[in-house]
Amino acid sequence: MSEENRLRDDITRFAKSLFDRGLTPGNSGNISARLSDGTLLVTPTGSSMGFLDPAHISHMAADMTHLGGDKPTKEVPLHSAFYDTRQTTGAVVHLHSTHAVALSMLPETAADNALPPLTPYGIMRLGKVQLLPFFLPGDPAMGQAVRGLAGKRSAVLLANHGPVVAGKDLEAAVFAMEELEETAKLALLTRGMNIRSLTQIQVHAVVDRFDVDWD
């Protein structure tokens, strides 16, 4: 099997797993992944993550010129911003997962670090998650906002919309996205409780041990 066909199958498989577990409902969410030649595979606009056809996944040039397949998601500028500003990016996942969206709507959620330090894995897989303002779906300004971070964040939370995570490859991006949603869920479940979050000493021990970008 060619690299491209294998990646098409992987995107379809991971997308269905996310859909089946209720992490992105209806025809929401999108995924992109980079091939070794620099071109990208991107889920089509209006498609459901649970019912993708590998043959219809969009094929895009590095400059986001449409090469083949169905028309890509309208969130292409959001994806391209991560590829352009973080050279290690091999895949980008954007969902409308319930707990992450809920967290984005709370006024006390910190813009510069939306996820509280509850577990080491949230820190290890995501670093700091930037909360971005509300944008209309498909607005190129979302991509501009990501570019404004200058590659310092691998994950952002779009207010009233959903999370976006970049990873070194498809598996890493999906696993980090799942960690983001679970940490948001923990934050909501324990809201108002007298919990023990990780201390700053513990946070920095994780950052140092696992070489996390925490600037």
Q: Where are the alpha helices (DSSP H) in the chain?
A: 3-20, 76-85, 98-104, 120-126, 141-147, 170-189, 200-209
Classify residue 205 by burial, with Cβ atoms within 10 Å: 0-12, 13-18, 19+. Answer: middle
CB atoms within 10 A of CB 159: 18
Residues 158-172 have pLDDT tens digits of 999 999 999 999 999
Active site includes 121?
Answer: yes
User: pTM value?
Assistant: 0.96
Catalytic position from the list 3, 4, 108, 121 = 121
Residue 1: pLDDT above 90? no
4 is catalytic: no
Number of C-alpha atoms within 13 angstroms, CB side, residue 144?
Answer: 7
Q: Which of 3, 4, 75, 171 is catalytic?
A: 75
Structure tokens, 3: 């690299």
How big is the chain, counted in residues? 215
Q: Which of 28-37, 169-178, 206-215 has the lowest mean pLDDT?
A: 206-215
Ramachandran angles phi, psi of 140, nearest 5°: -60, -20
Cβ-based neighbour number of residue 24 at 10 Å: 25
Nearest to 123 by CA among 191, 196, 18, 199: 199
pLDDT digit string (tens) for 72-112? Answer: 999 999 999 999 999 999 999 999 999 999 999 999 999 99
Question: CA-to-CA distance for 52 and 127, rounded, in angstroms?
Answer: 30
Report how many helices (DSSP H) and strands (DSSP E) the chain contains, helices first. 7, 8
Mean pLDDT of the chain, nearest integer: 97
Q: What is the pLDDT of residues 28-77, one digit of tens each?
A: 999 999 999 999 999 999 999 999 999 999 999 999 999 999 999 999 99
Select from 102, 96, 99 the least CA-distant residue to 26: 96
CATH number corresponding to 3-209 = 3.40.225.10
The yes-or-no verdict on residue 215 having pLDDT over 90 is: no
Q: In Å, what is the CA distance from 29 to each residue of 165, 175, 204?
A: 12, 15, 33
Q: Cβ of 135: how many Cβ atoms within 10 Å?
A: 18
Please state the separation of Cα 9 from the chain's center in Å: 19
Per-domain residue ranges of the chain: 3-209
CA distances 164 to 3, 35, 82, Å, are 25, 20, 10
